[in-house]
Structures are given as structure tokens and as C-alpha cells.
């Protein structure tokens, strides 16, 4: 149990302003229960055993059934040698399989490592090696298995558990998928490394139970969540069981009006993303909600599904809400079941919020967070109208301190700009195997976010700038440095600078400015082909411009300032 008590707030002058406008039904000082993450599912299954837990293409699985599948998978993982601290990777789209193996790995004592299914083999290889992932769980969809098979054949990955996608579908759909989508189904046992592949059906017998593993919630790492931090170099944020359960409880405390065993959560955000992991997966399970999943979101299908299954909560990113409000036939879809939508992952433009609420009559609430904080730090109240552009108030038990940009040990005065630094039970233990980067990410016991904010007199916070060189594209962090390093590997490139440019759909998108080596030629198509195996689709430059020279600072360092100014001017004209 994480209990702030009176001493935690004592002497923190920043606490008082936000408490003046704090929601009346939320107690900032309330103790926040921690515990093993899998306890969220165990509690829900004990209280609401017959309540639907997952809804996948219309196939419903109850909490009791899900818990039994989790126990069986956990026992099977233990039979494969998974023990406390073993790294188990999840290379999965949104599906019941993700939920089962997420909680199963944790119950077996393992540390989960989330993987983006869009990653290239090169990106996956780095993360597997850096995290020391021993076993990868995936589906028998060719688009996924072929990458895992490549990791196995290269020796980067030791073993894989492969689960059936067709078996997740309702009986008629599963049969039809096997008949008509054969080309999309891989054949794991035909792999040259089949001896290192375990089919889910052979993992453990029905009714199997895992051996209990003692979990220390405050110290045992539940998830390695890879993030670029403030530099773009991928690092595994060590999120403990307490970090994740506390952040889930904090989000629950923020919305006390939501009922236990009464809600439906729309799972369109990918579970491997830290935002969805907390506010869809763990939150949904903790509320004993029905989690409606889409492995691949398309707007028309998503809107039709909302109208059909009638979810009550939908977390998303601004691009999702922008797309919904701009759908030419939005009025033909019934969205009245939604009680509220939560926006995160990127700044929510005021016009998107206002137009979405006017179009759908659904409250759209913006929050703020980062992977290193599990991720939710602040949120706007569900009731009332927050100041325009606000990221909200700190969640219960969360202390925010704005620090001098010149010296992060110095707290800035009320109303001044400062780096947003956060302390609370959701803040990570540190970066995996990177003590120096961990030390740089903290000032005292406050996590430095790299975002510049102000606190208004009302106590609401607003982000006004970034310290870190970062492009937020559809809610995903894209680091210019990473894109630049990939482009530099092309033999014709002499210099490159990548900036973020406005994008109506994604918010921001990368644009590369390239100077070629004398005597060399390359086209934008050449550069894109070069990058296909090095970058994920979200990181791929939306535009490439070749120039005879690139702007530099007085000391000869490539400068982005002039290019950003040009882009801003073009946007205005």
C-alpha cells in the first residue's frame, strides 16, 4: 500500500494551487493500493466470474475463463523454464492472446517486454538483445511469425511460443479464416528452427496451475517498456508491479463514477503502447470491464463496432478523435453509449476537442504522461471546463515540480516556465542497464520529463515547449536522431537533418532535409527503399527535400531552427 500521508505533501508549495481546483470526489491524499499486476485480474475474476472480459470479433470470454487460460499459460511458461526475472516478449496485436500472456508471464514471475508488431527485424533484434528477451510470444499470422522466425534463425532469440489466430475467432469465422486466408497463416513446424518453437496447444494441459511466485511489488520489474527517453536511443523503462498497479488505481480514483463490472472499454489503442497498457488493459481489467478489441483499427469498422457493441469508455490519441469528427457520415453512427473519451499520447488541439464534443455529445478529456511514469501523470477533470490547452491536474499521490531550465535543482516561481518534473508511485525504477542515463533523468527523486510547462493560478498545468528533440506522430514518439542515423547509412548522403512538420492527420510527421555527397545521386524513392528495413512505418519521413547545403550554427553544428522556421512560415502562408 502506497500511503502519501501528511509528510509527503509537507513543504511542497506546489501542492496547494492544484488542490484548490481538485475534483470534489477525488482525494489527492488517499492511500494508493499496490500489489502484483496479475492481482487485478484475480480480483476481477473472483468478484465478476461470469462477466465478459474480452470481446474479439463477437467472441466473448468471461473473467473466469480468462483467468483459467492465464493460469494454464503461466504453468506452461514455467514448464519452459520461465522463472522470476525471465524476460518474456509479447509480439502481438490487440487480441485475447495479448491479455492472456501478459498476465500469465507476470504470474509466472517473468518480466514482460512489449514489442511493436510494426518493427523491422533490425529494430526487433536490438530490443531482444538489449532486454535479454529469452522467449517471444506471437501468433501464427505470417506477417508476425516471419519476423520472429528470422530472429530465431539468426540466433538473436532463443525460443518462441506460437498461438493460433483462427482459434481466437468465433467458430464460423475461425473456420472460414483457415479456409480462405491460408496464405496469411504461417507454418511454424516447417521452420528450420522448429525445435525452438512451442505451439500454444502443447504448452500445458487444461486446468494446469502455476507454482506461486513471491512478488515484491515495489522492487520487482513487471514490464520493460522501451522508449527513446529524451535522446531517442531506445531504453527499457523498468516499471515495477507497484508502478503499474498504482497508476491503474490512480486512474480509477480519478473516475469514481465508473462502475465495477458495468463498463465496456474500446481497445483501439495497441496494448504494446504504455498508454493502452494502463488505461485500456490494466484499467479495464481492474474495473471488470468488457474489453472490446480490434487487432487492426480502421475508421469505418471501428465506428460500426462502437455503434454495435456500445462501449462506455474509449481512450485514444488526437488523430483518432480528429478522424472521427471529420468522417463524412459521422451522424449515421450511434456513439451515444460513450460516457467519455480520454485523449493522450500527443497534445490535443482545442479545435479537435470542441468539434468532437459538439459532433458526438461525448466528453473528451485530455491527460498527460510518459513511459517512465507508467504513464499517466495528469488529467483534466471529467466535469467542468478546464482552461484551454490544459493537460490537467496531478493524479492522486502525484507531485509536480517545475524546475529551472538552467538548473533542474531550482524550483521556478509560480507562473514561470520550467521543466515539468514528477514524483509519485508510478515513476519508474530507472532504465534497464543504463545507470548513467537513469541518473541524468532524475533531479533528486523527481523524474525529469523534458517538457516545459507553466502552472496557472488555478493549479492547472499547460505544456508550452519541449527540451527534447522529439516528433509526436499519431501519439507515437519519433526521434529525429534515430531517423537521421538510418539515413546517414545511405552511401550518397553527406548530411541530413530531420524535423517535425505539421500533418493534418497525424499531428506531426518527420521531414528529412538531405545534402548529397559530391558526385553522388539519389532520389526520395531511393532513400525510402533504403529505410524500409531500418525504420518502422511511423518513423518513415513523410517528405524528403534535397538541398545544396544545410543550415549550421556558428560552431558548424547542423541547425534545425531555420528549417523549423521555414516550415512554420509555409504553414501560415
The set of cell numbers assigned to 332 is 449515421
- Mean pLDDT score, 493-497: 89
- Mean pLDDT score, 75-100: 98
Answer whether 186's CB lies under 8 Å from 146's CB: yes
Cβ neighbours of residue 165 under 8 Å, at least 6 residues apart? 95, 139, 140, 141, 177, 185
The answer to whether the Cα torsion of 563, 569, 572, 573 is positive or negative is negative
Residue 15, judged by CB atoms within 10 A of its CB (0-12, 13-18, 19+), counts as buried
Quick check: 20 pLDDT over 60? yes
Question: How far is residue 270 CA from its own chain's centroid?
Answer: 7
CA nearest to 23, candidates 382, 459, 365: 382
| Range with lowest mean pLDDT among 45-54, 110-119, 230-239, 447-456 | 230-239
The CA-to-CA distance between both ends of the chain, in Å, stands at 56
The set of cell numbers assigned to 87 is 524476460
Q: What is the pLDDT of residue 1?
A: 58
Q: What is the pLDDT of residue 10?
A: 31
pLDDT digits (tens, 9 = 90+) for 144-169: 999 999 999 999 999 999 999 999 99
pLDDT digits (tens, 9 = 90+) for 537-563: 999 999 999 999 988 765 556 788 889
For residues 9 and 216, the model is more confident at 216
Q: What is the pLDDT of residue 6?
A: 34
**What helix, strand, coil percent values describe the chain, rounded to 5?**
35, 25, 40
Beta bridge partners of 423: 399
DSSP letter assigned to residue 395: P
User: Which alpha helices (H) appear in 393-462, and where do they start and end?
Assistant: 435-441
DSSP letter assigned to residue 386: P
Q: What is the pLDDT of residue 53?
A: 98
Model confidence at 180, in pLDDT bands (50, 70, 90)? low
Question: How far is residue 261 CA from its own chain's centroid?
Answer: 25
Range 471-572 classified under CATH 3.30.300.30: yes
pLDDT digits (tens, 9 = 90+) for 362-399: 999 999 999 999 999 999 999 988 998 899 999 999 99
- Mean pLDDT score, 423-437: 97
Q: What is the pLDDT of residue 179?
A: 60
Q: What span, in angstroms and rounded, lies between the C-alpha atoms of 226 and 487?
A: 22
Write down the number of H helices and E strands in the chain: 18, 27
Cell match 533531479: residue? 443
For residues 76 and 567, the model is more confident at 76
Quick check: 4 pLDDT over 50? no
pLDDT digits (tens, 9 = 90+) for 237-285: 999 999 999 999 999 999 999 999 999 999 999 999 999 999 999 999 9
pLDDT digits (tens, 9 = 90+) for 283-324: 999 999 999 999 988 999 999 999 999 999 999 988 888 889
pLDDT digits (tens, 9 = 90+) for 317-347: 888 888 898 888 999 999 999 999 999 987 8
Quick check: 494 pLDDT over 90? no
Quick check: 123 pLDDT over 50? yes
- Model-level pTM greater than 0.75? yes
Quick check: 12 pLDDT over 60? no
Residue 498, phi then psi, degrees to nearest 5: -120, 130
Q: Rounded to the nearest 5 degrees, what angle is found at the Cα of 239, between the Cα atoms of 234 and 243?
A: 145
Determine the length of the chain.
Answer: 573
Q: What is the pLDDT of residue 169?
A: 92
Q: Determine if the peptide bond prior to 375 is cis (ω within 30°).
A: yes
CATH 3.40.50.12780 positions along the chain are 39-400
Q: What is the pLDDT of residue 176?
A: 73
pLDDT digits (tens, 9 = 90+) for 200-245: 999 999 999 999 999 999 999 999 999 975 556 789 999 999 999 9
pLDDT digits (tens, 9 = 90+) for 436-457: 999 999 999 999 999 999 999 8
For residues 3 and 315, the model is more confident at 315
Answer whether 537's CB lies under 8 Å from 120's CB: no
Domain range 39-400, its CATH number among 1.10.1040.50, 3.30.230.10, 3.40.640.10, 3.40.50.12780: 3.40.50.12780
Beta bridge partners of 453: 418, 463
Q: What span, in angstroms and rounded, lies between the C-alpha atoms of 225 and 111?
A: 10
Quick check: 14 pLDDT over 60? no
The answer to whether the Cα torsion of 125, 131, 132, 133 is positive or negative is negative
pLDDT digits (tens, 9 = 90+) for 478-490: 888 789 889 989 9
Question: How far is residue 81 CA from its own chain's centroid?
Answer: 28
Q: What is the pLDDT of residue 326?
A: 83
Q: What is the mean pLDDT of the chain?
A: 92
Q: What is the pLDDT of residue 557?
A: 63
Answer whether 436's CB lies under 8 Å from 311's CB: no
Cell match 478522424: residue? 323
Amino acid at each position: 500500500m502506497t500511503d502519501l500521508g501528511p509528510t509527503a505533501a509537507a513543504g511542497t508549495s506546489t501542492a496547494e494551487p492544484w488542490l484548490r481546483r481538485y475534483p470534489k470526489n477525488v482525494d489527492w491524499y488517499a492511500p494508493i493500493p499496490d500489489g502484483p499486476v496479475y492481482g487485478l485480474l484475480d480480483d476481477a475474476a473472483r468478484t465478476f466470474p461470469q462477466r465478459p472480459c474480452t470481446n474479439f470479433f463477437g467472441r466473448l470470454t468471461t473473467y473466469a475463463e480468462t483467468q483459467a487460460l492465464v493460469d494454464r499459460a503461466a504453468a506452461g511458461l514455467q514448464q519452459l523454464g520461465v522463472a522470476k526475472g525471465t524476460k518474456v516478449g509479447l509480439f502481438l496485436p490487440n487480441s485475447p492472446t495479448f491479455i492472456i500472456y501478459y498476465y500469465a508471464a507476470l504470474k509466472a514471475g517473468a518480466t514482460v517486454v512489449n514489442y511493436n508488431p510494426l518493427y523491422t527485424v533490425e529494430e526487433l533484434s536490438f530490443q531482444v538483445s538489449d532486454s535479454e528477451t529469452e522467449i517471444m510470444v506471437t501468433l501464427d499470422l505470417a506477417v508476425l511469425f516471419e519476423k520472429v522466425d528470422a530472429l530465431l534463425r539468426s540466433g538473436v532469440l532463443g525460443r518462441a511460443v506460437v498461438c493460433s489466430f483462427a482459434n481466437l475467432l468465433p467458430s464460423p469465422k475461425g473456420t472460414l479464416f483457415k479456409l480462405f486466408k491460408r496464405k496469411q497463416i504461417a507454418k511454424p513446424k516447417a521452420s528450420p528452427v522448429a525445435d525452438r518453437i512451442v505451439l500454444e496447444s502443447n504448452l500445458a494441459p487444461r486446468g494446469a496451475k502455476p507454482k506461486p511466485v513471491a512478488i515484491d511489488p515495489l522492487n520487482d520489474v513487471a514490464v520493460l517498456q522501451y522508449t527513446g527517453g529524451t535522446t531517442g536511443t531506445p531504453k527499457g523503462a523498468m516499471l515495477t508491479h507497484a508502478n503499474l498497479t498504482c497508476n491503474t488505481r490512480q486512474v480509477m480514483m480519478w473516475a469514481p463514477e465508473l462502475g465495477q463490472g458495468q463498463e465496456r472499454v474500446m481497445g483501439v489503442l495497441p496494448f504494446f503502447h504504455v498508454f493502452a497498457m494502463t488505461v485500456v488493459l490494466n484499467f479495464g481489467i481492474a474495473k471488470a470491464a468488457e474489453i472490446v478489441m480490434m487487432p487492426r483499427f480502421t475508421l469505418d469498422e471501428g465506428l460500426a463496432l462502437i455503434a454495435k457493441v456500445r462501449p462506455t469508455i474509449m481512450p485514444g490519441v488526437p488523430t483518432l478523435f480528429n478522424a472521427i469528427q471529420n468522417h463524412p457520415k459521422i451522424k449515421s453512427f450511434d456513439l451515444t453509449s460513450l460516457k467519455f473519451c480520454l485523449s493522450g499520447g500527443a497534445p490535443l488541439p482545442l479545435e479537435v476537442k470542441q468539434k468532437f464534443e459538439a459532433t458526438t455529445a461525448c466528453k473528451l478529456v485530455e491527460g498527460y504522461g510518459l513511459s517512465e511514469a507508467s504513464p499517466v501523470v495528469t488529467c483534466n477533470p471529467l466535469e467542468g471546463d478546464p482552461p484551454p490547452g490544459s493537460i490537467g491536474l496531478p493524479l492522486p499521490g502525484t507531485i509536480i515540480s517545475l524546475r529551472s531550465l538552467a538548473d533542474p535543482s531550482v524550483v521556478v516561481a509560480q507562473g514561470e516556465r520550467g521543466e515539468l518534473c514528477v514524483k509519485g508511485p508510478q515513476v519508474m525504477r530507472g532504465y534497464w542497464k543504463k545507470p548513467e542515463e537513469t541518473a541524468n533523468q532524475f533531479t533528486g527523486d523527481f523524474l525529469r520529463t523534458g517538457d516545459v510547462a507553466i502552472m496557472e493560478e488555478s493549479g492547472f498545468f499547460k505544456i508550452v515547449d519541449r527540451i527534447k528533440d522529439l516528433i509526436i506522430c499519431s501519439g507515437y514518439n519519433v526521434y529525429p536522431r534515430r531517423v537521421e542515423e538510418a539515413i546517414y547509412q545511405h552511401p550518397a548522403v553527406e548530411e541530413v537533418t530531420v524535423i517535425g512538420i505539421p500533418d493534418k492527420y497525424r499531428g506531426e510527421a518527420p521531414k528529412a532535409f538531405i545534402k548529397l555527397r559530391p558526385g553522388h545521386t539519389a532520389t526520395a524513392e531511393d532513400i525510402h527503399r533504403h529505410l524500409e528495413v531500418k525504420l518502422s512505418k511511423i518513423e518513415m519521413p513523410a517528405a524528403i527535400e534535397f538541398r545544396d547545403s544545410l543550415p549550421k550554427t556558428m560552431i558548424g553544428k547542423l541547425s534545425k531552427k531555420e528549417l523549423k522556421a521555414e516550415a512554420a512560415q509555409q504553414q501560415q502562408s
